[in-house]
Structure 1
Amino acid sequence: MQKVGVGPSELPKDLQEALARGALSGADVLLWLRVRAMPVVGWVCQHWPAFRDRVMGNPRFLRVLAVEEVLGCTAKTIAEVQTRGAKVWEELDFLASDLSLEIIGDFAVVWLLSPRRNFQPLPTRRLPMALAALPAHCLQVETFSVGQRVATVALRGSQFFAVGFLSSLLGHGLTVYLVHAKRDRRDAMREEARAEVRAGHGGAAARAAASAEFGEDAALAPVLDNSLGWGAFMATSANVRYQLVNAFEERFLERALSGRAARLAATCVLRFSNTYLGSAMWVACARVAGLQ
């Protein structure tokens, strides 16, 4: 601590405790000082220890998170605009709902598979100890047994299912609610216009609204069925694809490419390809399951 010119009191409380246990090295302190000095990220890390642990334990975390969010939100926005066409401005609530869930989902995927630096005491109970010893993804570079790597696939699958199920339950449920709310409001306005026409008070606009015919609303998959389907897809396809992507980045890209710009470009290409493949696979699976 004297070599780096920092007193223990300047460290966060959990890092002070790690220092007292001998679990915090001088390199960790230097890394923390660099992280703390980063604009915005440093402030987040000071107030969110779990985020700090991933930033300190995975040099790719911030880059991957930024790439995943930008690609996911861009692709989602383009798809929403193309699908909704001229009605996009009328349906901004739908777009905002879908986009917010995209942001949450992309964050969860990166978060769950990121290695982290753990400054907490090791658990003493058997199950928490076993879970804490698992790799972040099944092919993480370090010494792990085959059983631990297989267990990681199963654990991440259950976590991905939970993320997919809950996000779809919220997002698809909100979409269904908005669709029914718009339909009820439209029907109420039409009935009001018809009442004005019958009473002889309505003008041309009221007569047009009263006689307007609307096409049938697109059928929406049941909320529970769609949520179970999306959760299952996340637990299987997304789980395997994202674990392989993380392994490729860690084992190949970090070693084969030395420049920051080259690694960023390669990460963008790799994750865009994964996003595109996943979108195509979901459409195919959803159609087979009768959800679309």
Structure 2
Amino acid sequence: MSLVYHEITNFFDLEQYPLIAELTQRFQGFRERLLADPKFLNRLAIEEAISITTTLVAQYEKRKENFFEELDYVITDSVRASVVDFFTVWLPAPTLSFLSYADETARPNSIDALRGLLGSIPDNAFQKSLGGKDWTLNLRIASVIVGGLKLAGVGVVSSFAAVGSSNALYAIRKFIKPELAVSEQTKRSPMLKTAVVYGGYLGTSSNIRYQIIAGLIEHRISDELSSQPLLVNMISFVVRVANSYYGTQQWIDLARSTGLQAQKVPRLPIKSQRL
């Protein structure tokens, strides 16, 4: 009970800021996350701040001299990563909500029953029990599965949007300067296959990595160091930088191994041979 009281006190402290107060009043999901974790805004800002930087660094590290030749892949992956990173922080973040007595006694329909079922599952497998809830091992395993399905859906939708935009830009460039399109001969990423592979990647690798970060590192370890906020923010920053960098390189390897992104081989100059 003291834990819940502490979180509510911190929440009201944050509501002194007009922007945060406006967001909490308009968006229930935002309010629930701040109630469970007053540092949620810090974690989201850290993730978004490092997303583009580490993505570009990892892209260059993997593509090397082909970086600019494969710029369409770089742009597609970077834009998609910045959008997806928001959801990888949002979905596994701990939440805390309070229902009125009228809501609890209202006759449930199918949607309410589904919400109740999802509400009985923790937001991530490592989340501390909040509000008197005692999550069993089966429920924690279910949170991994449900979280993976959510992230997979985000991956499919974002991939369709990113690849579709990339193909549209390529078509415009080909129309304006046909000679560039002929000289590049870039293999376009298949939209459906990319969406399926990327959705599977987010639902498995990304889902597990971000559940560990949100539940174990930032929700458990950081709480033990709550008296040292600078150290807590540094731990979160370092872990998220390493995770973003590793995740980008892992995706590039997966995209290449599945044929989604063709790796261009630089042309070597022809040297005359003396006999």
TM-score, length basis structure 2? 0.76
Hey, what's the Cα distance between the residues in 2 that align with 1:26 and 1:257?
A: 16
d(CA) in 1 for partners of 2:195, 2:136: 34
- Unmatched segments (≥5 aa) in structure 1: 1-24, 191-211
Instruction: After TM superposition, give the deviation of residue 45 of structure 1 in Å.
Output: 1.9
Deviation at 1:98, TM superposition (A): 5.6
Superposition deviation, residue 42 in structure 1: 2.4
Matches within 5 A, 1:153-164: 153-164=144-155
Shift of 1:117: 1.9
Give the structure 2 partner of residue 165 of structure 1.
156
Contact 2:149–2:203 (Cα < 8 Å) also in 1: yes
Match of 1:222 in 2: 190
Q: Between Structure 1 and Structure 2, how many residues are aligned?
A: 240
For 2:217, the equivalent position in structure 1 comes to 248
- Taking the TM superposition and a 5 Å limit, the aligned residue runs for 1:85-234 are 85=68, 95=75, 99-120=78-99, 121-122=103-104, 124=108, 126-142=113-129, 143-187=134-178, 215-234=183-202
Of residues 144-153 and 113-122 in structure 1, the stretch that sits farther from structure 2 once superposed is 113-122
1:52 match: 31
Q: Deviation per CA, 1:82-112, whole angstroms, max 9, x where unpaired?
A: 8664998xx8xx84x7655333211111111
Q: 1:108 to 1:26 in 2, by over 3 A?
A: closer
Contact 1:168–1:226 under 8 Å retained in 2: yes
Say if 2:35 and 2:97, in contact at 8 Å, map to a contact too: no
**Which shifted more, 266-275 or 47-56?**
47-56
Answer with 1 or 2: which has the greater Rg: 1
Which residue of 230, 236, 248 maps to 2:204? 236
Unaligned runs of 5+ in 2: 262-275
CA contact (8 A) 1:35 1:56 kept: no
- Structure 1 residues 156-214: Cα deviation after superposition (integer angstroms, max 9, x where no partner): 11101000110010011110111111101213xx7xxxxxxxxxxxxxxxxxxxxx995
Identity of matched residues, %: 25
The one-letter amino acid of 1:267's match is S
Q: Is 1:283 aligned to 2:270, yes or no?
A: no
> Is the alpha carbon distance of 1:284 and 1:103 closer, same or farther for their aligned partners in structure 2, counting shifts above 3 Å?
closer
Q: Does 1:43 align with 2:43?
A: no
Q: Deviations over 1:47-83 (max 9, x none)?
A: 2232122112212311110111001122235567886
CA distance change for structure 1 residues 244 and 117 in 2, over 3 Å: closer, same or farther?
A: same
SS in 1 for 2:222: helix
Shift of 1:286: 1.6
Q: If the length of structure 1 is used for normalisation, what is the TM-score?
A: 0.72
Deviations along 1:217-252, one digit per CA (max 9) or x if unpaired, are 321211111111110100111011111112222222
- CA distance in 1: counterparts of 2:250 and 2:77, whole angstroms: 19
Confirm whether residue 61 of structure 1 aligns to residue 36 of structure 2: no
Letter of the structure 2 residue corresponding to residue 227 of structure 1: A
Q: Aligned pair in 2 of structure 1 residues 84, 284: CA closer, same or farther (>3 Å)?
A: closer
Cα distance in 2, alignment partners of residues 28 and 153 from structure 1: 25
What SS does the aligned partner of 2:96 have? coil
Q: What letter corresponds to residue 49 of structure 2 in structure 1?
A: V
Higher relative contact order (CA 8 A, sep 6+): 2
Paired AA for residue 17 in structure 2: M
Match of 2:273 in 1: none
